[in-house]
């Protein structure tokens, strides 16, 4: 009898027939009561058995192929390590996203050095990290956050200019610059564009409103909906997308024409907290439509950093 037929289930020790008995062996009602074990009783590792020889096993006549090989401990160990690594990654992801949803963390992250902050943002969705990176950069440069109700971009510079702030993060799954919700109908002076590379370094582009209008004519597209729907909308939103590759025509043009020489966040730099309250913006309402921009909405660390 081949080796694999010689294996016995736990019921065999009690006198019952083995599950792997030859088809020719008679089965009585008494024997079935011992052999019909639940499927879950089978060792789960049998589901992963691999054979080194696909030849059918011996049918009992003495001829045939070799028996299936046992599961290698190395394969089991590799699978276990892989599962542990995935579980640890998922736990970290869940923890960071859960923490990021709290107001306390939203305040605290504005005091974190760039190298820590940007890695935490990498774990969030683009809808979540986009506004947070924007807020961090506005604080870094000492600009003032503009309430959305003014419809004049995102930041007020010390020189009095209103600027729209856009950021895009380059990743293995997203190797292109992705700038969306560009609103040329807004009353503002220009655009401050930031691209965060895979190594978390930052490239900044400064465009005037006229330069952005020219770029939209050359490589812009509708940010949402169909062309017909966009044509019927007087307040259209546009998008600009291009490969983050010096060999790309659009990327090369942007690097040559709009790359700013201003400083960008470095690994250990801390942001400054120079946000103005809505009242300090003059024409802004007493309460901004997104949140109140006053000193009480920021952590003590931010207030000290200012």
Helix axes 209-219 and 249-257, enclosed angle (nearest 10): 170
Task: Report the alpha-carbon distance of residue 46 to residue 20 in Å, rounded.
Answer: 13
Closest CA to 161 of 186, 133, 134: 186
Give me the tens of pLDDT residue by residue for the chain, a chain 306 residues long. 555 444 444 444 444 444 444 444 455 544 444 444 444 443 444 344 444 444 444 554 455 555 555 556 677 888 999 999 999 999 998 998 888 888 778 778 888 888 889 999 999 888 888 889 999 999 888 899 999 899 999 999 999 999 999 999 999 999 999 999 999 999 999 999 999 999 999 999 999 999 999 999 999 998 655 555 455 556 789 999 999 999 999 999 999 999 998 778 876 566 654 443 333 344 333 333 333 333 333 333 333 332
| Spatial distance between the Cα atoms of 158 and 98, rounded to a whole number of angstroms | 36
- Stated pTM of the model: 0.62
């Amino acid at each position: 009898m081949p080796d694999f037929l010689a294996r016995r289930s736990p019921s065999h020790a009690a006198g019952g027939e083995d599950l792997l008995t030859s088809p020719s062996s008679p089965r009585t009602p008494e024997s079935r009561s011992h052999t019909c074990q639940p499927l879950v009783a089978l060792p789960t590792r049998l589901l992963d058995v691999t054979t080194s020889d696909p030849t059918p096993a011996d049918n009992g006549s003495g001829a045939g192929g070799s028996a299936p090989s046992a599961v290698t401990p190395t394969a089991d160990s590799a699978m276990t390590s892989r599962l542990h690594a995935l579980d640890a990654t998922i736990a970290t992801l869940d923890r960071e996203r859960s923490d990021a949803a709290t107001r306390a963390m939203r305040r605290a992250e504005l005091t974190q050095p760039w190298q820590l902050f940007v890695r935490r943002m990498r774990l969030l969705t683009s809808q979540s990290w986009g506004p947070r990176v924007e807020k961090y950069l506005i604080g870094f440069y000492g600009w003032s956050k503009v309430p959305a109700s003014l419809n004049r971009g995102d930041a007020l510079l010390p020189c009095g200019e209103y600027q729209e702030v856009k950021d895009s993060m380059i990743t293995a799954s997203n190797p292109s610059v992705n700038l969306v919700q560009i609103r040329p109908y807004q009353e503002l002076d220009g655009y401050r564009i930031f691209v965060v590379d895979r190594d978390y370094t930052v490239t900044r582009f400064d465009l005037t409103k006229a330069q952005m209008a020219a770029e939209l004519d050359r490589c812009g597209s509708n940010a949402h909906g169909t062309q017909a729907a966009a044509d019927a909308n007087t307040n259209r939103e546009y998008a600009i997308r291009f490969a983050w590759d010096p060999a790309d025509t659009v990327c090369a043009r942007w690097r040559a024409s709009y790359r700013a020489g201003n400083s960008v966040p470095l690994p250990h730099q801390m942001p400054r907290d120079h946000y103005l309250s809505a009242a300090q913006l003059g024409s802004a309402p007493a309460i901004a439509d997104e949140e109140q921009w006053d000193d009480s909405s920021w952590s003590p660390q931010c207030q000290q950093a200012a």
